[in-house]
Amino acid sequence: MNEMTPTKSERAAALKGLGTSRKRVEDSRFTQGKGNYIDDIKMPGMVFGDFVRSPYAHARVKSINAEKALELPGVIAVLTAADLEPLSLHWMPTLAGDKQMVLADGKVLFQGQEVAFVVAEDRYIAADAIDLVEVDYEELPVLVDPMKAELDDAPILREDIADQKAGAHGARRHPNHIFTWEQGEKEATEAVLSGADVVAEETVYYHRTHPCPLETCGCVASMDKVNGKLTLYGTFQAPHVVRTVASLLSGIAEHNIRVVSPDIGGGFGNKVGVYPGYVCSIVASIVTGVPVKWVEDRMDNLMATAFARDYWMTGKIAATKEGKITGLWCHTVADHGAFDACADPTKFPAGFMNICTGSYDIPTAYLAVDGIYTNKAPGGVAYRCSFRVTEAAYFIERMIEVLAIKLDMDAGELRKINFIKKDQFPYNSALGWEFDSGDYHTAWDKAMKAVDYDGLRKEQAERVQAFKNGETRKMMGIGLCHFTEIVGAGPMKNCDILGMGMFDSCEIRIHPTGSAIARLGTISQGQGHATTFAQILASEIGISADDITIEEGDTDTAPYGLGTYGSRSTPVAGAATAMAGRKIRAKAQMIAAYLLEVHDNDIEWDVDRFVVKGAEERFKTMKEVAYASYNQEIPGVEPGLEAVSYYDPPNMTYPFGAYVCVMDIDIDTGEHEIRKFYALDDCGTRINPMIIEGQVHGGLTEALAIAMGQEIAYDEMGTHKTATLMDFFIPTAWETPHYETDFTETPSPHHPIGAKGVGESPNVGGVPAFSNAVNDAFRAFGVNHTHTDMPHDHWRIWKTARDLGMHD
Amino acid sequence: MSKMHIKMTVNGKSVETLAEPRELLIHVLRERLDITGPHIGCETSHCGACTVDMNGKSVKSCTVFAAQANGADVTTIEGLGTPDNLHVLQEMFKEHHGLQCGFCTPGMITRAHRFLQENPNPTEEEVRFGMAGNLCRCTGYQNIVKAIMAAASEMNAAREAAQ
C-alpha cells in the first residue's frame, strides 16, 4: 500500500457517518436568514385569513352579523359555521376519534374558540374586520375543574354527544366523561396494597402547559381550480397524515393534494394536530380562488392550539420495610378540554401513561385514566415527549421520593434497590410493555459518582443544621431522577393514528456519479435530520454524508410516513434509512461481483467498497458501482440503484437516563438557583454526539420552564390567564443554567443500528429532576410534607416555606 | 388608510416604500421589502425573533412603527455576511451548534452582533444577560453562549492582528 492510499480508518472518517459530531448542513441557510418558514411563503394574489374568537369559555352563539365587516374595503369573505355546513366541514374529526367544531356551531366551549374566519387583502384589514363582526352570545355556566365535571349541577358541555353512552374509547358514564382506560390488574394490585408493610400515597398534579414553539402554527392553502390541485403549505409535523385527512374531509382525491412542510420553527408536539385554521384556509382558497395564508399570533397559539399535560395523578405505592416495591396503583383524571383532540395512537387514549412503572421492577400494577371534558382548549399533545410519557415519568419519580420519605430511606438508595437489573432485559412490565434493553445500575452509579452524591448529602445536612442555627436562609435541594422512556411509535400491531399504521419510510436514489438523495416520511423541526440521516446512510452505503441530500416534507416526492413527534424519527425512519441502505448495498454487491468477475459470495463490504476476499487490492467502490449500475449492461440486474424501505418496528425503544439537579432556594423570596445539573443519557447507539448534546440542553430548558414557572392557567370563568409571553414563562439565557452532559451506550437490540432516540429524554427526565430538587429542599421540614405541585414559581416556593413555618 | 412615504437604509442600500402609519417595521421589512430573515414570534417584544439593528441599537422591530424608522439605518441578518464571506458570528453559530430550528437565529445573531460592539470582552454571565431579550426554545442557550464567546475571541484576535 503506497502512502497516498487512505487507510481503512481514514476512509471511514471521510464518510462522516455514525458517531461523528458532523456540523449541520441546515445551518448555512438559517444563519443567513434564508430559512423558508411558513410566513415566508408568498404566492401571487395571496390573501390573509384570521379568526374571530370567543371571549367566553361557554356560551350560546345566538347570532353572527358580518355585514359591517364585509363593507370594509379589502375584506373578501367572512366564513361561519353556516357557510361550512353545506360542505360538512363545520365539524371535523379529531385524532382521538372525537369531533371538533371548525367554527362555532351554535355554541362555544372555550375562550379563544374559532367563531368566524375573516379573509382580507392583508393582515391589518383582517384584524380590523374581526372587530367589526358582531356576535351575540348568551353566557352559560362554566366548567373549569375536572373534579366537578360529574356533579349534579355540572353544566353539560358537549350537547352534541350528550346522549351517547359510548365514545371512541368505550363506555361513557356521564355527558362530560370521555373514557376510562384501564391497564394492569386492579384486584391483584389492591391485594398487594392491603397486605403491604408500607404504602405511600400522593396526588400529583402535572399542570396544563403548552409546547409554544417560537414559530406559531400556520398554513398557505392554494386551490388551483384549473388543474383541480390543492397545494397546502403548513407547519405540519405529519404532512402525509395531513394530506390523507385533508382528502377525507374535503373530498378532493388524495393524488390531487400536495402537502408541503417547509422549514418549521420548532414543533414540540404543537404542530401535530389538525386545526380549524387549516380547514378554513382550504375552504377560503376554494371559495375565493386565490391562495389564503393563515398564521396564528402568539395569543392565538397559547389560547387555542394544542396544550399539553393536565393530568391529576393519584398514586399508591407499596413496599416492604426494606424498600422493595411490591405494587403500584394509579388513578388519573385527564382534563382534555372541550374536544378530545389528543394526539395519541388510537388504542392508547391516555398515550403510553402505562410506562408509569418507570425504571423499576414492580411486579404488580394497575392504572386507570378518566378523560374529562372541560371548558378549555382542546389538545393534549406530547410536548417534547412520547405520548404522556412525561406525565408517567413525573408520577413515578415523585412517588419514589414520597415512598423514600415514608420509609425514611435515601431516595437514591431506594431507586437502586428497585431498578430492573441488566440481566432482566428484555423485561416485561406489569403494565404490558417489553423494555428492549437497559443497564440502569451502571448509569446510576456513574451519575452518583460524577456529582459526588454522598458529598452533596453531607453538605445538605450541614445546610439544614446551619438553617436551624439561624446562619442561612437558603435551603439546598438534591433532585434525583432515573427515567425510562418509551418512544418510536410504533409497531403496526398496536400503533395507528386514525387507522394509519405508524410505520415510517425512506427512499434512496444513488446518482451515477456516486452521490445520493434520500427522502423520508418524517420532517425536521430543528432536530437536524438533513445532517443525521445522511450519517446513518453514509455508514450503510459508504458514500460520504456530504454527498447525500436528505429531503422531507413534500408529499409529492417523499414516501408516505407518519411524521416527526414522540421521538419516533430515529427509531422508525432512522431504521427505514438503514434498511433501505442495506437494500442498496445488496444490489451493489451483485454489480460489484460482476465487475470483479467473482461470485457474489467471494466479495465482502469494507467501509466504502467491496473487496475480493483475501485480495483486498481488488475492489470496487460504491461510487464505481453506482456509475456502472447506470451505464453498464449487467446480466440479470436492472439498471439503476434505488431502494425504498417501509419499516414497521418490531418494538418500541426505551431510552433512559440518570439526572441530578442541585438547587438552592431562598425561603424568603422563593427564588431558586440551580447550582448543578448533571444529565446522563443512554439513547443507544449515538449518531451525532454534538446534536445529542444540543437536544439535551434544549429539552432540559423546556423542562426547567415547565417545572419552575410555565403554565396555562384559567380563572373560574374559564378566562385564559397566560396567553402572552409576559405571562407564559419561557426561560431566557439569564435564567438557564449550565448543563453537564454524560452518557452510557446500551444499543437497542431490535433497531438496525441500535439507536433509540434522544430528543425528548431531557424533558421527560428533566421535569422530575427539577421538581424533586424543590421538594427535596423541604424534606427536613415537616413530617407530613411530601409534595408540592408544579410549577415551582417564586410564590409557590415562598408559600411552601411559610406553610411549613419556616418564616416564623 | 392613507400611506406614508418611508425612506430607509436597509443593509447598506437605500430603500423607499409606502406604508400605513400604523404598520410595524417587521411587517414592512417582511411584506413590503421581502426581507424575511427577521421573524415574528410574539409581536409583543418578548421573544426577540424580529431583532434588527436600527441606528446602532438593537430594536425589536415588532414594536417599532415603520414610520419611526423613516430615515434610519437598519441592519438585518441579511446585512451581516455574504454566502462567500460569513460574519464570524454566523461561522461560530454553525461551528458550536448554536441553533436548531433556526427561527430565533437571525434575531439572535443580529443582537449578538450589536452586543459584542457594546461589550467586546464579555464574561459568560454578561453574554447571558446581554442576550436575555432573545428567546430560544431549542438550544437551552448553552451553545449560543459558547458561539458568542468564541466569536468575541475571534473578533478580538482579528482586531489585534490588524493593529
Interface predicted TM-score (ipTM) over 0.95? yes
pLDDT digits (tens, 9 = 90+) for A702-737: 999 999 999 999 999 999 999 999 999 999 999 999
Dist. CA A552–CA A313, nearest whole Å: 38
Domain topology for B4-77: Ubiquitin-like (UB roll) (3.10.20)
Q: Which of residues 712-771 of A touch B (CB under 8 A)?
A: 724-726, 730, 732-734, 736, 738-739
At A78, list the grid cell: 367572512
Look at residue A444 and tell me whether its pLDDT is greater than 70: yes
- What pLDDT shows up at residue A553? 97
Grid cell digits, residue A450: 460524577
Using the 8-state DSSP alphabet, how is residue A572 labeled? I
pLDDT-derived band at A497 (thresholds 50, 70, 90) equals confident
Q: With a cut of 90, say whether residue B61 has pLDDT above it.
A: yes
- The whole-angstrom separation of Cα A666 and Cα A656 is 32
pLDDT at site A782: 76
Mean pLDDT score, A382-392: 94
CB pairs under 8 A between A and B: 176
Average pLDDT over residues A638-647: 97
CB contact under 8 A, A263 and B101: yes
| pLDDT of amino acid B16 | 97
d(Cα A235, Cα A737) in Å, to the nearest integer? 30
Contact A158, A94 (CB under 8 A): no
Do residues A660 and A581 touch, judged by C-beta distance below 8 A?
no
Note if A164 is an active site residue. no
Judged by a CB distance cut-off of 8 A, whether residue A26 touches chain B is yes
Torsion sign across C-alpha atoms A767, A770, A774, A776:
positive
CB-CB under 8 Å, A264 with B101:
yes
**What mean pLDDT do residues A60-70 have?**
98
User: What are the domain boundaries of chain B?
Assistant: 4-77, 88-162
Describe the crossing of helices A239-250 and A276-288 by its angle, rounded to 10 degrees.
Answer: 60
Query: Which residues are within 8 A (CB) of A541 and not within 5 positions of it... i.e. 6 or more apart?
Result: A508, A510, A516, A581, A584, A585, A588, A622
At the second CATH level, the architecture of A307-489+652-803 is 2-Layer Sandwich (3.30)
Specify whether the CB–CB gap between A570 and A47 falls below 8 A.
Answer: no
Which of A365, A576, A359, A381 has the alpha carbon at shortest distance from A486? A359
pLDDT tens for residues A171-205? 999 999 999 999 999 999 999 999 999 999 999 99
User: What's the pLDDT at A109?
Assistant: 98
Q: Where are the alpha helices (DSSP H) in A608-721?
A: 622-631, 689-708
pLDDT of residue A793: 97
Residues of chain A with CATH 3.30.365.10: 9-36+504-647, 307-489+652-803
CA distance A368 to A432: 14
Which stretches of A95-210 are assigned E, i.e. beta strand? 99-101, 107-108, 114-120, 134-139, 166-167, 170-171, 177-184, 198-209
**Residues of A255-286 as b/e, b for ≥16 C-beta within 10 angstroms?**
eebbbbbbbbbbbbbbbbbbbbbbbbbbbbbb
Tell me which amino acid residue A138 is. Answer: E
Whether A384 is catalytic is yes
Contact present, A383 and A211 (Cβ < 8 Å): yes
B74-111 residues labelled b (16+ CB within 10 A) or e (exposed) = bbbbbbbbeeeebbbbbbbbbbbbbbbbbbbbbbbbbb
- Given this structure, which CATH class describes domain A9-36+504-647? alpha beta
- On chain A, the residues whose CB falls within 8 A of the CB of B129 are 733-734
What are the tens digits of pLDDT across the range A590-606? Answer: 999 999 999 999 999 99
Superfamily name with CATH number, domain B88-162: [2Fe-2S]-binding domain (1.10.150.120)
Q: Please check whether residue A27 touches B, CB under 8 A.
A: yes
* CB contact burial A117-138 (16+ within 10 A = b; e otherwise): bbbbbbbbbbebbbebbebebe
d(CA A259, CA A560): 12
Q: Considering the entire predicted model, what is its pTM?
A: 0.97
Answer yes or no: do A27 and B93 touch at CB < 8 A: yes
CA distances from residue A650 to A107, A192, A503 in whole angstroms, order as listed: 45, 33, 10
Kindly report the nearest CA distance between residue A86 and chain B, in angstroms: 35
A694 and B106 within 8 Å at the Cβ level: the answer is no
pLDDT at A2 over 60: no
Mean pLDDT of A234-244: 95
Confidence tier at B1 by pLDDT (50, 70, 90) = confident
Q: Is A33 in Cβ contact with B27 (below 8 Å)? A: no
Q: Which of 3.90.1170.50, 3.40.190.10, 3.40.50.300, 3.40.50.2300 would CATH assign to domain A41-142+214-266+271-304?
A: 3.90.1170.50
Q: Which residues of A90-101 are buried (b: 16+ CB within 10 A; e: fewer)?
A: bbbbbbbbbbbb
The band of A498, judged by pLDDT with boundaries at 50, 70 and 90, is confident
Question: How far apart are the C-alpha atoms of A31 and B110, rounded to whole Å?
Answer: 10
Residues 6 or more apart from A615 whose CB is under 8 A from it?
none
* Confidence category of residue A556, pLDDT binned at 50, 70, 90: very high
Model confidence at A1, pLDDT cuts 50, 70, 90, reads very low
